[in-house]
């Protein structure tokens, strides 16, 4: 639970820095610091946290795990397992899920920018003369944060939990102190105030919803990080510590605004006495760095899962922990995020303006999560139809309202995460489509492995056998690796022992070593040919030498020496062709992606000094 506090709740736990400030900002000038508006807003905040976070995600959606893992990629994996009569439904649901993944990357760019910026803005409360230093300090903090990513979260993870415990205790205490001055603010917990506000001021409350959604940023993190800490730990941390602390703090901010309407300029920091404001700026900056860390790490994890699932080309992924497979690092993703985040800070220059870009990414992802969960609830869990209709009526309505309210902000900043999502979605879908086409052609060229072996001894000129063991990588284990076919048909050479290694990604996150490998010997005479199939979860490390070591240790291949085998890899050069089914611009994009993909030698950790590459050309 302590670990979950330090990683999972950083984002939602620091939303109080900017959420109510944005609600009552000059951009929402129809929302006033009056009793009616304040009670209505606080009531909406309370019931948003109850319905969306507590009930929908913590109690319900977090039960939809894929072998213990959560997040939108887990929901996509569950949907792929479904049997749906109408053939277009499953692809449509997977496409929606992919767009949710794409929105997550937009969220991953905005969260560090708005979180750190809102914390450093506390300097303006301490001294208005410090306003000019807010943006430069925020940029320095962010660049330092991204520079540190290559060391992994484990280096500072030990202090994350205690810092966030301190954070929640302090924000709860200062909120409680203000509430005790005027306990009437607790009446806002009644849903009647939210209902009255929505019904009597429909346009004003609709605008308010666009900012109130900022109180639930980071909800996806509760679900996505479930595999690290487990549902019970996250549930306890939420209900015992985070939820009460946030409610007290938001109630305190509401009470302060009623007491002093001028406090709307920054109700969070103005809750503190002047002597405590500077220390809170420092603590808030640290807390928002932790919040940003969780989202950045999530972007690395989602990238890794997307590569394993075939939606992104191979790229270098570094595992930063010897014990936690989920702690990964991608240099390309890290510095792309860094440039985007710093650019956001320099362009928007305040958390209030940046909030306009934030809500659309959050609400879009939550709505897609809800839709996929309802499908899983009905078709995988076989829940009664009335259960699904009731849940859909509540949660789809709430999330659709939030999305619609934030759609009004597209012109003022919401275009950014949508633009990022569209670009990422195009890349994900283009790679998946192009890869499917190339794989199909590749399988056709390779042909059945058994047929190839049957005619190996009758080829003209004869195929000579050389000493040693050769390992060929194969997509399926049932077709001939192209390099193996080229070696026999063009070079007329094969090795006395050939291992066709097929590393097969699974939809579950982890596969135990004892269940990972299977071997089938296709010939017992020279050349001795075996198919070694290795099942790996999308969060397991992919290493061909490691697979061979396991095969040796499990005595699946006798007399195997992993340190002396020769790896023979197929190099595919992709060229655009005139075949229909894929737009010309997408073909060129796919070709560009293939050129930037990590080579099989790096991706499968093949030793370069013992690896031979044979190439061929494939059209797309």
Mark whether 167 and 225 lie in a shared domain: yes
Identify the band that residue 573 occupies on the pLDDT scale cut at 50, 70 and 90. Answer: confident
| Among 496, 66, 42, CA closest to 309 | 66
C-alpha triplet 83, 102, 63: angle, nearest 5°: 50
CATH number of 204's domain: 1.20.1740.10
For residue 18, the 8-state DSSP code is: T
Mark whether 368 and 497 lie in a shared domain: no
Residue 77: give the domain boundaries.
2-432
Mean pLDDT of all residues belonging to the chain: 86
Mark whether 310 and 415 lie in a shared domain: yes
Could you check whether the bond before residue 461 is cis, i.e. omega within 30 degrees of 0? yes
C-alpha triplet 292, 368, 49: angle, nearest 5°: 60
Please say if the pLDDT value at position 22 is more than 50: yes
Tell me whether residue 440 is in a domain: no
Mark whether 425 and 551 lie in a shared domain: no
Mark whether 300 and 346 lie in a shared domain: yes
Q: Are 110 and 417 in contact (CB under 8 A)?
A: yes
Residues with Cβ within 8 Å of 201's Cβ and at least 6 positions away in sequence, in order, are: 36, 37, 40
Identify the band that residue 323 occupies on the pLDDT scale cut at 50, 70 and 90. Answer: very low
Please say if the pLDDT value at position 327 is more than 70: no
The residue that leads in pLDDT, 211 or 3, is: 211
Q: How far apart are the first and last CA of the chain?
A: 49
User: What ranges make up the beta strands (E) of 135-293?
Assistant: none
Instruction: Look at residue 66 in the predicted model and tell me its pLDDT.
Output: 78
For residue 49, the 8-state DSSP code is: I
Instruction: Look at residue 112 in the predicted model and tell me its pLDDT.
Output: 87
- DSSP state string for 122-169: HHHHH-GGGGGGHHHHHHHHHHHHHHHGGG-THHHHHHHHHHHHHHHH
> How far is it, in rounded angstroms, from Cα 284 to Cα 278?
10
> How far is it, in rounded angstroms, from Cα 476 to Cα 484?
14
Instruction: Look at residue 28 in the predicted model and tell me its pLDDT.
Output: 55
Identify the band that residue 231 occupies on the pLDDT scale cut at 50, 70 and 90. Answer: confident
- DSSP state string for 284-344: HHHHHHHHHHHHHHHHHHHHHHHHHTTSS-----EE--SS-TT-EE-HHHHHHHHHHHHHH
Please say if the pLDDT value at position 507 is more than 70: no
Please say if the pLDDT value at position 319 is more than 70: no
Tell me whether residue 310 is in a domain: yes
* Cα-to-chain-centroid distance, residue 261: 39
- Tell me the two tokens of residue 44: 């909406």
Identify the band that residue 195 occupies on the pLDDT scale cut at 50, 70 and 90. Answer: very high
For residue 406, the 8-state DSSP code is: H
Helix (H) or strand (E) holding 449: helix 449-454
Burial 152-173 (b: 16+ CB within 10 A, else e): bbeeebeebbebbbebbebbbe
Mark whether 216 and 253 lie in a shared domain: yes
Which one of 387, 402, 432 terminates a domain? 432
Q: How many CA atoms lie within 13 A of 568 on its CB side?
A: 23
Instruction: Look at residue 328 in the predicted model and tell me its pLDDT.
Output: 66
| Among 507, 515, 491, CA closest to 539 | 507
Could you check whether the bond before residue 527 is cis, i.e. omega within 30 degrees of 0? yes
Tell me whether residue 437 is in a domain: no
Tell me whether residue 219 is in a domain: yes
Helix (H) or strand (E) holding 26: none
Tell me whether residue 441 is in a domain: no
Identify the band that residue 49 occupies on the pLDDT scale cut at 50, 70 and 90. Answer: very high
Q: Are 470 and 494 in contact (CB under 8 A)?
A: yes
Mark whether 421 and 452 lie in a shared domain: no
Mark whether 150 and 289 lie in a shared domain: yes
Residues with Cβ within 8 Å of 537's Cβ and at least 6 positions away in sequence, in order, are: 67, 505, 506, 508, 509, 510, 511
Instruction: Look at residue 161 in the predicted model and tell me its pLDDT.
Output: 79
C-alpha triplet 233, 234, 236: angle, nearest 5°: 65
Ranges 54-58, 125-129, 496-500, 543-547: which has the least confidence: 125-129
Mark whether 76 and 201 lie in a shared domain: yes
Ranges 141-145, 157-161, 179-183: which has the least confidence: 157-161
Tell me whether residue 111 is in a domain: yes
Mark whether 280 and 422 lie in a shared domain: yes
Instruction: Look at residue 538 in the predicted model and tell me its pLDDT.
Output: 65
Instruction: Look at residue 588 in the predicted model and tell me its pLDDT.
Output: 92
Share of the chain above pLDDT 70, in %: 95
Please say if the pLDDT value at position 277 is more than 60: yes
- DSSP state string for 291-303: HHHHHHHHHHHHH
Instruction: Look at residue 155 in the predicted model and tell me its pLDDT.
Output: 52
388-420 per-position pLDDT tens digit: 999 999 999 999 999 998 888 888 888 888 898
> How far is it, in rounded angstroms, from Cα 1 to Cα 235?
9
Ranges 70-74, 264-268, 490-494: which has the least confidence: 70-74
Instruction: Look at residue 93 in the predicted model and tell me its pLDDT.
Output: 92
Mark whether 554 and 421 lie in a shared domain: no
Identify the band that residue 358 occupies on the pLDDT scale cut at 50, 70 and 90. Answer: confident
Tell me whether residue 346 is in a domain: yes
| Mean pLDDT calculated for residue range 77-84 | 86
| Mean pLDDT calculated for residue range 2-30 | 79
Residues with Cβ within 8 Å of 518's Cβ and at least 6 positions away in sequence, in order, are: 532, 533, 556
Instruction: Look at residue 249 in the predicted model and tell me its pLDDT.
Output: 96
Q: Are 165 and 245 in contact (CB under 8 A)?
A: no
90-117 per-position pLDDT tens digit: 889 999 999 988 988 887 788 888 888 8
Instruction: Look at residue 157 in the predicted model and tell me its pLDDT.
Output: 54
Gyration radius of the chain over CA positions: 28
Instruction: Look at residue 160 in the predicted model and tell me its pLDDT.
Output: 74
Ranges 103-112, 252-261, 294-303, 442-451: which has the least confidence: 294-303
> How far is it, in rounded angstroms, from Cα 419 to Cα 361?
10
Which one of 432, 459, 485 terminates a domain? 432
| Mean pLDDT calculated for residue range 444-448 | 85
Residue given tokens 């999305």 in the structure block: 403
3-class SS of residue 572: strand
Mark whether 507 and 399 lie in a shared domain: no
| Mean pLDDT calculated for residue range 35-43 | 92
Residue given tokens 């499917």 in the structure block: 436
281 phi and psi angles, rounded to 5 deg: -60, -45
Which one of 403, 432, 461 terminates a domain? 432
Instruction: Tally the domains of the chain.
Output: 2
Tell me whether residue 178 is in a domain: yes
């Amino acid at each position: 639970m302590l670990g979950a506090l330090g990683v999972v709740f950083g984002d939602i736990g620091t939303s109080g820095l900017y959420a109510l400030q944005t609600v009552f900002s000059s951009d929402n000038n129809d929302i006033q610091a009056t009793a009616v508006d304040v009670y209505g807003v606080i009531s909406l905040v309370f019931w948003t946290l109850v319905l969306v976070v507590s009930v929908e995600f913590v109690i319900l959606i977090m039960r939809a795990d894929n072998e213990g893992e959560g997040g939108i990629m887990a929901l996509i994996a569950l949907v792929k397992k479904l049997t749906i009569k109408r053939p277009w439904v499953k692809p449509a649901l997977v496409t929606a899920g992919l767009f949710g993944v794409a929105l997550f990357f937009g969220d991953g760019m905005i969260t560090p920018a708005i979180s750190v910026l809102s914390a450093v803005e506390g300097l303006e409360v301490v001294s208005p003369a410090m306003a000019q230093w807010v943006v430069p300090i925020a940029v320095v903090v962010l660049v330092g944060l991204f520079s540190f990513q290559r060391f992994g979260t484990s280096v500072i993870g030990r202090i994350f939990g205690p810092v966030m415990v301190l954070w929640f205790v302090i924000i709860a205490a200062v909120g409680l102190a203000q509430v005790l001055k005027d306990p009437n603010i607790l009446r806002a917990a009644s849903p009647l105030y939210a209902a009255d506000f929505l019904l009597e001021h429909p346009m004003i409350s609709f605008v308010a919803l666009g900012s109130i959604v900022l109180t639930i940023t980071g909800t996806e993190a509760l679900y996505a990080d479930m595999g690290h800490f487990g549902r019970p730990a996250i549930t306890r941390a939420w209900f015992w510590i985070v939820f009460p602390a946030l409610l007290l703090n938001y109630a305190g901010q509401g009470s302060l605004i009623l007491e002093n309407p001028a406090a709307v300029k920054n109700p969070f920091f103005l809750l503190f006495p002047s002597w405590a404001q500077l220390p809170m700026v420092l603590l808030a900056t640290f807390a928002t760095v932790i919040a940003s860390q969780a989202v950045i790490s999530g972007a690395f994890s989602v990238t890794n899962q997307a590569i394993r699932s075939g939606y992104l080309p191979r790229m270098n992924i570094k595992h930063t922990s010897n014990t936690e497979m989920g702690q990964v690092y991608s240099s390309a993703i890290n510095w792309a995020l860094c440039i985007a985040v710093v650019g956001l800070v320099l362009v928007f220059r305040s958390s209030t303006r940046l909030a306009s870009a934030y809500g659309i990414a959050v609400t879009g992802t939550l709505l897609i999560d809800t839709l996929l969960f309802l499908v899983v609830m009905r078709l995988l869990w076989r829940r009664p139809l009335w259960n699904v209709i009731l849940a859909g009526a509540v949660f789809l309505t709430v999330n659709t309202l939030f999305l619609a309210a934030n759609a009004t902000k597209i012109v003022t900043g919401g275009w950014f995460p949508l633009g990022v999502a569209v670009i990422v979605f195009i890349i994900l879908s283009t790679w998946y489509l192009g890869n499917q086409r190339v794989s199909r052609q590749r399988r056709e060229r390779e042909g059945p492995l058994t047929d190839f072996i049957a005619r190996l001894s009758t080829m003209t000129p004869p195929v000579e056998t050389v000493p040693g063991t050769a390992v060929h990588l194969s997509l399926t284990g049932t077709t001939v690796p192209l390099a193996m076919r080229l070696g026999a048909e063009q070079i007329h050479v094969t090795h006395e022992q050939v291992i066709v290694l097929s590393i097969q990604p699974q939809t579950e996150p982890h596969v135990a070593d004892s269940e990972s490998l299977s071997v089938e010997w296709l010939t017992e005479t020279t050349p001795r040919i075996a198919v070694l199939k290795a099942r790996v979860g999308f969060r397991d490390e992919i290493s061909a030498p490691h697979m061979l070591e396991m095969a040796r240790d499990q005595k699946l291949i006798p007399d195997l020496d992993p340190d002396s085998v020769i790896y023979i890899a197929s190099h595919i050069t992709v060229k655009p062709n005139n075949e229909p089914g894929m737009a010309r611009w997408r073909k060129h994009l796919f070709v560009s992606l293939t050129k930037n993909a990590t080579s099989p030698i790096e991706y499968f950790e093949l030793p370069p000094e013992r690896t031979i590459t044979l190439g061929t050309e494939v059209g797309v």
